[in-house]
Amino acid sequence: MPVARTISPAEPSRIDDVIGRVPIVSLMGAGHAALCLGIARAATTAVIELATKKVSVDAGPGLKDRGPAQAAVAIAQAKLAAFQSHLHALVGRQWEIVEQGNVPTTGQIADVWSVALTTGRECRAIVGEMYETAGTSALYTSSLIERCHRDIHAAGQHVVTQRGFLEDTGRVYFGLDATHPLYSI
């Protein structure tokens, strides 16, 4: 691939198009959040499917008839929809700013970064809840829920999830300068 078509987090973009002018931290954060949303959505969908097919081996209610399972899925669905909507709105606004030839403010970059990092962290909690809700069915490597559990924890190890980025975002909200150089690229 030609160098002119690449983006590096260590230097300004060479792509003279909207995608090349969106701040790299916004691209990295939003991309990571989208990945986490997909994993959490897959885990939630897998629990719903499991609940409709799983035969209860004890005398108690089946998974789909258990109040805690119903609540866990309802909460997960609401959180996923809210985070996705908010992320989409902020990224869309930043895209519009860049399309108009302007540069997003540090505060606007912090908004995307904040929701992206929080989305990733919350998605990890949602997947954990789905893993717990599924019970022993989630233990097996043949289970999509087990795969989601591994994947969300792997995603949580990515460099974009470092707490320093979230702290820097907080610095911006307190009116201080961001210390990480990616805020200026």
DSSP H/E element including 114: helix 106-134
Please, what sign has the CA dihedral across residues 60, 63, 65, 69?
Answer: positive
Let me know: does 12 contact 185? Beta carbons within 8 Å: yes
User: pLDDT of 85-120, one tens digit each?
Assistant: 999 999 999 999 999 999 999 999 999 999 999 999
Q: What is the mean pLDDT of residues 23-38?
A: 93
pLDDT at 74: 98
Let me know: does 183 contact 169? Beta carbons within 8 Å: no
Could you give phi then psi for residue 58, rounded to 5 degrees?
A: -115, 180
pLDDT at 6: 66
pLDDT at 38: 98
User: pLDDT of 44-57, one tens digit each?
Assistant: 999 999 999 877 77
User: Could you tell me which residue, 50 or 21, shows the higher pLDDT?
Assistant: 50
User: pLDDT of 131-150, one tens digit each?
Assistant: 999 999 999 999 999 999 99
Please, what sign has the CA dihedral across residues 121, 88, 32, 169?
Answer: negative
Q: What is the mean pLDDT of residues 17-28?
A: 84
Task: Report the distance separating Cα 183 and Cα 110, nearest Å.
Answer: 8
Residue 103: CB atoms within 10 A of its CB come to 11
pLDDT at 55: 73
* Confidence tier at 181 by pLDDT (50, 70, 90): confident
The residue ranges of DSSP E strands in the chain, in sequence order, are none
pLDDT averaged over every residue in the chain: 90
Question: For residue 116, which of 155, 77, 72 has the smallest C-alpha distance?
Answer: 155
Written as six digits, the tokens of 172 are 């911006």
Please, what sign has the CA dihedral across residues 174, 179, 181, 182?
Answer: negative
Q: Which amino acid is at 133?
A: T
Task: Tell me which of 1.20.140.10, 1.10.3110.10, 1.10.10.60, 1.10.3720.10 is the CATH number of domain 22-52+61-180.
Answer: 1.20.140.10
Task: Report the distance separating Cα 50 and Cα 91, nearest Å.
Answer: 34
pTM above 0.85, yes or no: yes
